[in-house]
């Protein structure tokens, strides 16, 4: 399957229980792919993987003396171990009888995936979704290998940062239904314009058959304009415009949840903001496109939610956090700020924003744009973390906000230490940054009171 060479035929019948590319998380019985990355070379950690119990190793021919590796293991040499892993993942996908769905977009793809899995499980228990955000050319193969053999519906999150990547992901996953949540200014370091972002996402549509259902956000004009250059006949969802699936009602019940009604079915959505309603609409459109019905299902009892740090409410020590710090780009920050300031509550309202990464030549522009937006709102303190966020702070000050209402920290741990002493019971705090900033450290630094304190 990989076009490689088996070095020790005594282990030709080895059976593997999983696949790993990280020796630190390798489990006994797994097949370890030694992959050369931008910062580390997996070949340097083959010994550690074997010590962790790896049953086999796929390495490149350039590795010296593979016959001298310790352990009772199978060894396969290939020209490119990453290409070999992707080839093997494609073969495994082709053995599955599941229906495969590909979800992509600049914002909301992880939450849409999580919501879709939970909706589909109301009808089909053997639904599977990409774990975490294993969504690129390294993560997607691992997500496929982790999929149970009896899966009936596989919902794969697909993420890219450069042109051409989506075509390669489509070749591996071969989705039978496609969902594109939206497009926006993300990965501009590589894609330069929002139109280029849309074109890169839409490679997924070009890579599949003409009859493959494609679900799009009809409120996204750039996405729709670029999609129509490729084909027509889309399934659509929207809040503001006309579409196949729209909400009949959106009621904010409290700080924690909204009630969203679609086609007469009500859902309790424990996430904050209109952008989360879009994610639910996309998941609902997928559910219905797959041919499922909510007849005889109490939809309000379906437990909805998303992965950690993606718009959830977190309470620690009587402090309420809107934890939206898994990733950030200009559109998601704007949507998050809108949701935060529209949500009532809090004796003091604090905003903690970290750098938005991979914005290329427009980095300063977008950070200043966020600053202008933030300055229009009323808050008690705005905290900025990272070098790029200095521009956001400068714009906030330029808009007339008093200096005592802003702070800047170079990194998340410095911020976490300072803010853990500043926070007080009753605070309502919005936390948002790109993944590389690690801003969840601010929330994790808040100590829960011990029993008896």
What string of DSSP letters covers 95-118? H--SEEEEEE-SSSHHHHHHHHHH
Q: In which band, very low, low, confident or very high, does the pLDDT at 451 lie, cut at 50, 70 and 90?
A: very low
Cβ-based neighbours of 53, under 8 Å, separated by 6 or more: 26, 27, 28, 29, 30
Cβ-based neighbours of 10, under 8 Å, separated by 6 or more: none
If you count DSSP H runs as helices and E runs as strands, how many of each does the chain have, helices first? 15, 20
Q: Which residue, among 254, 262, 290, 304, has the nearest Cα to 112 in the 3D structure?
A: 304
Q: What is the pLDDT of residue 61?
A: 92
Average pLDDT over residues 371-391: 97
Q: What is the pLDDT of residue 373?
A: 97
Positive or negative: CA dihedral 372, 194, 363, 355: positive
pLDDT reading at 401 higher than 80 = yes
Task: Confirm if 360 and 190 have CB atoms less than 8 A apart.
Answer: yes
Q: What is the pLDDT of residue 49?
A: 93
Determine the 3-state secondary structure of 260 from DSSP.
strand
pLDDT reading at 132 higher than 90 = no
Average pLDDT over residues 330-355: 94
Q: Which of 60-64, 225-229, 255-259 has the lowest mean pLDDT?
A: 255-259
pLDDT reading at 190 higher than 90 = no
Q: What is the pLDDT of residue 42?
A: 94
Q: In which band, very low, low, confident or very high, does the pLDDT at 453 lie, cut at 50, 70 and 90?
A: very low
Burial of 408 (0-12, 13-18, 19+ CB in 10 A): middle
pTM for the structure as a whole = 0.90
pLDDT tens digit sequence for 50-108: 999 999 999 999 988 776 677 778 899 999 999 999 999 999 999 999 999 999 999 99
pLDDT reading at 326 higher than 90 = no
Determine the 3-state secondary structure of 251 from DSSP.
strand
Two tokens at 327?
Answer: 């990733």
Average pLDDT over residues 307-331: 90
Strand partners, 409: 385
Q: What is the pLDDT of residue 450?
A: 53
Q: What is the pLDDT of residue 185?
A: 84
Q: What is the pLDDT of residue 340?
A: 94
Q: What is the pLDDT of residue 431?
A: 97
The mean of the pLDDT values for the chain is 93
Average pLDDT over residues 178-201: 89
The share of the chain scoring above pLDDT 70, in percent, equals 97
Tokens 């750098």 sit on residue: 355
Highest mean pLDDT among 28-42, 180-194, 235-249 belongs to 235-249
pLDDT reading at 291 higher than 80 = yes
Question: 10 Å Cβ neighbour count for 163?
Answer: 15
Two tokens at 177?
Answer: 């239904």
Domains and CATH numbers, the chain: 5-81 (3.40.1390.10), 96-301 (3.40.1190.10), 312-444 (3.90.190.20)
Q: What is the pLDDT of residue 29?
A: 94
């Amino acid at each position: 399957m990989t076009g490689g060479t088996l070095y020790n035929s005594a282990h030709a019948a080895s059976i593997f229980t999983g696949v790993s590319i990280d020796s630190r998380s390798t489990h006994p019985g797994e097949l370890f792919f030694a992959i050369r990355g931008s910062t580390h070379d997996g070949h340097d950690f083959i010994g550690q993987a074997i010590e962790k119990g790896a049953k086999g190793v796929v390495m490149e021919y350039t590795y010296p003396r593979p016959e001298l590796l310790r352990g009772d293991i199978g060894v396969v040499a290939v020209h490119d171990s990453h290409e070999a892993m992707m080839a093997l993942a494609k073969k495994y996908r082709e053995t599955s009888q599941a229906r495969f769905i590909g979800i992509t977009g600049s914002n909301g793809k992880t939450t849409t995936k999580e919501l879709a899995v939970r909706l589909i499980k109301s009808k089909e228990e053997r639904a599977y979704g990409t774990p975490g955000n294993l969504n690129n050319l390294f993560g997607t193969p691992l997500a496929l290998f982790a999929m149970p053999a009896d899966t009936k519906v596989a919902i794969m999150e697909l993420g890219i940062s450069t042109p051409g990547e989506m075509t390669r992901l489509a070749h591996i996953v071969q989705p039978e239904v496609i969902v594109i949540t939206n497009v926006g200014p993300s990965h501009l370091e590589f894609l330069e314009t929002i139109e280029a972002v849309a074109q890169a996402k839409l490679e997924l549509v070009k890579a599949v058959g003409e009859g493959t259902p494609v679900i799009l956000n009809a409120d996204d004009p750039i996405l729709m304009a670029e999609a129509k250059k490729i084909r027509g006949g889309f399934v659509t969802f929207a809040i503001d415009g006309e579409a196949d699936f729209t909400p009949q009602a959106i009621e904010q019940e409290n700080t924690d949840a909204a009630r969203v009604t679609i086609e007469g079915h009500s859902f309790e959505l424990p996430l904050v903001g209109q952008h989360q309603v879009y994610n639910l609409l996309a998941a609902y459109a997928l559910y219905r496109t797959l041919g499922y019905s909510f007849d005889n299902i109490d939809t309000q009892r379906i437990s909805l939610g998303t992965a950690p740090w993606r718009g959830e409410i977190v309470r620690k020590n009587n402090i309420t956090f809107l934890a939206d710090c898994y990733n950030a780009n200009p559109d998601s920050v704007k949507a998050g700020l809108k949701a935060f300031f529209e949500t009532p509550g809090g004796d003091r309202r604090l905003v903690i924003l970290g750098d938005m990464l991979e914005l290329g030549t427009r980095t300063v522009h977008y950070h200043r744009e966020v600053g202008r937006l933030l300055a229009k709102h009323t808050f008690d303190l705005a905290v900025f973390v990272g070098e790029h966020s200095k521009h956001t702070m400068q714009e906030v000050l330029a808009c007339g906000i008093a200096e005592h209402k802003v702070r800047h920290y170079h990194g998340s741990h410095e911020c976490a230490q300072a803010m853990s002493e500043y926070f007080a019971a009753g605070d309502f705090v919005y936390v948002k940054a790109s993944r590389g900033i690690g801003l969840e450290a601010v929330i994790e630094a808040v100590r829960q009171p011990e029993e008896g304190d």
